[in-house]
Structure 1
Amino acid sequence: MNQKNGWIMAAILLTLSMTAGCSSSQAAVEKGTGGKGAEGTNKENSGPPAVSTEPVTLNILASAYQVDFETMLIDPVKKKYPNITLNVMATGTGKNIQDLVAAGNTPDLFAGYTGMMPALKQLDVLDNLEPLVKKFRVDLDRYEPAVIDAIKVSGNNNELSGLPFNLQLNALYYNKDIFDRFGVPYPKDGMTWDDAIELARKLTRTEGGVAYRGLDPESFTRIFYPRSVNIVDPKTNKAAVNNEQWKTVFDLGKRILSIPGNERKESSPINEFRKSKTLAMLPSYNFFSDMKEASESGLNWDVAQYPSYKDRPNIYGMVDPWIMFVAKTSKHKDAAMQVLEVLTSNEVMLQMAKNTAKLPPLKNPEMKKALGENMPFLKGKSIVSVFKSRPAPNPSFTKYDTEAQKWLEASFWDYIRDKKDINTALRDAEEQINQIIREY
């Protein structure tokens, strides 16, 4: 094709894409989905610029937990952009992003979360997507503002380095049969941790040779995320754990796990809830999609609003999105953005919500209403309760946080198990973290 014909073809393609964009947008308005809604105009249908239609293969790194490949990526991308082939590189031992970068095999696209971003910055794989966002007319107003802010605060120079496709949530799962057995009312929405602990005291007992536990915090991270606390001060690069905020976190863990008989007995509280069926309440992350087997095995369960600190009512976790990044080294960034366009489209997000019960990071209220709609074992569950809380703002992460958290958590368990008092535990953790920073 000569240059003149090439320009003519590009103009035709641009006209067709703009026409198709206007048609799909109008259809969306007529159907009452997408288009103009409570959030304003949905610009995702305004049509990206014409780009190459030459065949291209993109390597993408993610796990099946993060992405339902067939319904969220492979099929919809193939349908809309038949020239793009996705080569899925499943995560696993020796196959994480660090390993692939070290081997000179960096994928074009890879999934991660905000807590990983300091490490990704060290690998120098994050790119500034804002020029591509502008080029492809990506409507960032579709997203929950806190999600975009969380990605920027964790990125390079407050830049947007990826687009979110899944937002974590927290819920209080509970075993209705244990509550019924001991005549204790079910958890209510709006409970504080103090309220949950009082319920736990009534439910922690042994009957018929079976030891029942009332409550487990599930994870150390789960109870400190709502406080938006730093482990390392990003301004001074020094430990920031020997203070009242962290005492509050350590104290909460102690009050839960020191209830007589409520000491942790299994390594996995999630298994204790789902399989052993001996844990009455489990405040945890979104594992709705994994409750099918437990439901079929007879677990009589429901969910309530996540408990909150008294001074931080209706707050859970932190803004914790899964993000798809375009690697800085990718030679096919336009095609990668087309994949992101499909992945984050209303159509794909809605199917994700309905079929996997994962929460889209969009303002659109229909996404929350649709959560788990096509999953029969979730029918009748009080999922609406979860949305009475909102996530806490993210702190600024540092490159030291992952290693520092290991030492802080070790001190937490030393305190829980009465090996150290709280002041000693936090002081020792601070000293150890500062030593790690000096040797980094």
Structure 2
Amino acid sequence: MEDFLKRYMLGCCVLFSLLISVGCAENTNHSEEKETVELTMAWSGTEEAFIERFKAPVEKQFDHIEITQVEAHSGNTEQLEEMIASNHIPDLWVTGSPGSTTAMFQKDLAYDLSEMFETVGFDLSRIEPNIVDELRSRSNEFLGADSNILGALPLKRGLSALYFNKDIFDLFGVDYPKDHMTWDEVADLAAKVTQEKDGIQYHGLHVHFHSAYTQHGVDHQNENGDPQYDKEPAFRKTLDLMEKLFNIQGNYPERPSDLNDAFMEGVLAMHATYDSTLTYTDAPFEWDIVTYPSWDNMPGIGPTSSGEVIGITNTSERIEEAFRVIDFLLSDEYQTKFSIEGNASPLVNEEIHAVFGEGAPAYQDIHIESLFDSTPQKRSANRFQVEHSLEAAGEPWHGRVSDDFYESGLTPPEFVRWLQERGEIVLKELEGQN
């Protein structure tokens, strides 16, 4: 009897242990079983670049997420309409700049990313606030002034700098540009290196004037939608700079746009420009950068950012997973690696900026610190909130305004009056279309 009891108790213990083991195994298997989530991303880069930049790191981070490229530019209205017509609208979309988000917002496909912040624990303050404000303004452009959505977040910071050709400065024995110069100081320096030597005409400075104008942070129209070219000093100041450079004998051969390729040709001493990366890494001469010139009343303020952005479509059935991908792409870990490869981070983390370009040999001898020593300008609050936007219509102040001014033969005050008159005419045309 005693032996029977011992065997009985032993059998119960074994059975109990087996039940516990099976239960644990079931729980383990249940915890490991996670539904595979398939996400699509519209991005116009190559498949190889997509795998390296997005697919491989995302799928390594999330073992239950698979991400596939839709090779299209969601900022292209025609391609976006094709995706809508074929019912192949992506979960995620990436465009090259804030300006190319317009098509997505016009089609009412942008999802308000701020709805996911609490769910994922996303800290918006980690991102440069002026870039966020820019995207918030664009997000609400077609929804009215009372809207407050955030339809996109930056993946890259737009870079602005004053590039200079060391060889030209050495040729004429002129000191190199320095950080934190004003536009007037740079224009004066340009006059010293605008010379002809050995039959070659060297030009001192080329500027994308619309970019310089954005440093003012003002809109074409006031809060009532009325054109304000003759009341807002930013337009006159920008025109005065244009005229000063036009009057340097030999600086501009014809129209300003004729110098767009002059830096790489080795005949332009300085080029004030912006890009999402360093533009002239393959230049066949010695060059460097300093901070983008500033207006004398706005030290340390650069042009508005023009870097890459990312968003989610409101038709996605996997919004939380899609936002977790964005959260990862904006993590310190990912952005540090991204920065080392030579991509400027939109985060405010100075440690990430400090490693910019360390993995890119072409950047090793460049004054990288200049790129992060200016704050991108914030767009004006009403820039995209007016009912009829002159900027959206592309009139009359646009990226080609320097050529228009150059060819007009007008003085800055006369051209300001022309801008005002033209703006009023275009506004009436826009109002008449309703």
The offset of 1:326, in angstroms, is 0.5
Asked if the contact 1:308–1:314 (Cα under 8 Å) also holds between the matched residues in 2, the reply is yes
Aligned partner of 2:168 in structure 1 is 178
Which residues of 2 match residues 341-356 of structure 1 at below 5 A?
341-355=327-341
Asked if the contact 2:395–2:423 (Cα under 8 Å) also holds between the matched residues in 1, the reply is no
Give the direction of change, closer, same or farther, for the CA distance of 1:334–1:172 in structure 2 (3 Å limit): same
The offset of 1:200, in angstroms, is 0.8
**3-state SS of paired residue (2:346):** coil
**Is residue 285 from structure 1 mapped to residue 271 from structure 2 by the alignment?**
no
Deviations 1:352-371 (A, max 9, x none): 1111x221111211111111
The offset of 1:80, in angstroms, is 1.8
Amino acid at match of 1:106: I
Question: Within 2, Cα distance between the matches of 1:137 and 1:262?
Answer: 53
TM-score, length of structure 2 as denominator length = 0.80
The offset of 1:436, in angstroms, is 4.3
Question: Within 1, Cα distance between the matches of 2:298 and 2:81?
Answer: 37
**Is residue 124 from structure 1 mapped to residue 108 from structure 2 by the alignment?**
yes
Of residues 136, 139, 143, the one that matches 1:155 is 139
Of residues 74, 79, 98, the one that matches 2:55 is 74
Aligned partner of 2:8 in structure 1 is none
Of residues 406, 422, 425, the one that matches 2:418 is 425
**3-state SS of paired residue (2:57):** helix
The offset of 1:388, in angstroms, is 2.5
Give the direction of change, closer, same or farther, for the CA distance of 1:154–1:215 in structure 2 (3 Å limit): same
TM-score, length of structure 1 as denominator length = 0.79
Which residues of 2 match residues 396-411 of structure 1 at below 5 A?
396-398=382-384, 400-409=389-398
Asked if the contact 1:415–1:425 (Cα under 8 Å) also holds between the matched residues in 2, the reply is no
Deviations 1:389-435 (A, max 9, x none): 21211124327355433432355433222444323431343134313
The offset of 1:310, in angstroms, is 1.0
Question: Within 1, Cα distance between the matches of 2:63 and 2:246?
Answer: 54
Amino acid at match of 1:362: L
Deviations 1:202-228 (A, max 9, x none): 1112212211110011x2321111000
Q: Which has the larger radius of gyration?
A: 2
The offset of 1:10, in angstroms, is 11
Question: Within 2, Cα distance between the matches of 1:10 and 1:167?
Answer: 43
> Which runs of 5 or more residues in structure 2 are unaligned?
1-22, 141-146
Farther-moved stretch of structure 1 (188-197 vs 321-330): 321-330
Aligned partner of 1:434 in structure 2 is 427
Which residues of 2 match residues 33-432 of structure 1 at below 5 A?
53-64=34-45, 69-91=50-72, 96-97=79-80, 100-101=83-84, 104-112=87-95, 113-117=97-101, 119-156=103-140, 157-217=147-207, 219-233=208-222, 235-243=223-231, 244-263=233-252, 267=257, 269-274=259-264, 276-286=265-275, 288-294=277-283, 298-355=284-341, 357-395=342-380, 396-398=382-384, 400-409=389-398, 412-420=402-410, 421-432=414-425
> Which runs of 5 or more residues in structure 1 are unaligned?
17-51
Which residues of 2 match residues 2-17 of structure 1 at below 5 A?
13=31
Asked if the contact 2:292–2:302 (Cα under 8 Å) also holds between the matched residues in 1, the reply is yes
Farther-moved stretch of structure 1 (169-178 vs 265-274): 265-274
Deviations 1:68-125 (A, max 9, x none): 5334311111212243332223346776435534654432111244334555332111
Asked if the contact 1:76–1:342 (Cα under 8 Å) also holds between the matched residues in 2, the reply is no
Amino acid at match of 1:394: R
Give the direction of change, closer, same or farther, for the CA distance of 1:267–1:154 in structure 2 (3 Å limit): closer
**3-state SS of paired residue (2:150):** coil
Give the direction of change, closer, same or farther, for the CA distance of 1:269–1:64 in structure 2 (3 Å limit): farther
Question: Within 1, Cα distance between the matches of 2:34 and 2:339?
Answer: 31
Question: Within 2, Cα distance between the matches of 1:246 and 1:57?
Answer: 49
**3-state SS of paired residue (1:216):** strand
Give the direction of change, closer, same or farther, for the CA distance of 1:377–1:425 in structure 2 (3 Å limit): same
**3-state SS of paired residue (1:371):** coil
Aligned partner of 2:4 in structure 1 is none
Question: Within 2, Cα distance between the matches of 1:145 and 1:411?
Answer: 29
The offset of 1:313, in angstroms, is 1.3
**3-state SS of paired residue (1:215):** strand
Identity %: 26
The offset of 1:439, in angstroms, is 4.2
**3-state SS of paired residue (1:238):** coil
Asked if the contact 1:172–1:283 (Cα under 8 Å) also holds between the matched residues in 2, the reply is yes
Question: Within 2, Cα distance between the matches of 1:310 and 1:121?
Answer: 36
Give the direction of change, closer, same or farther, for the CA distance of 1:360–1:240 in structure 2 (3 Å limit): same
Farther-moved stretch of structure 1 (208-217 vs 128-137): 128-137
Asked if the contact 2:229–2:416 (Cα under 8 Å) also holds between the matched residues in 1, the reply is no
Give the direction of change, closer, same or farther, for the CA distance of 1:365–1:58 in structure 2 (3 Å limit): same
Question: Within 2, Cα distance between the matches of 1:405 and 1:264?
Answer: 26
Question: Within 1, Cα distance between the matches of 2:253 and 2:274?
Answer: 19
Give the direction of change, closer, same or farther, for the CA distance of 1:104–1:406 in structure 2 (3 Å limit): farther
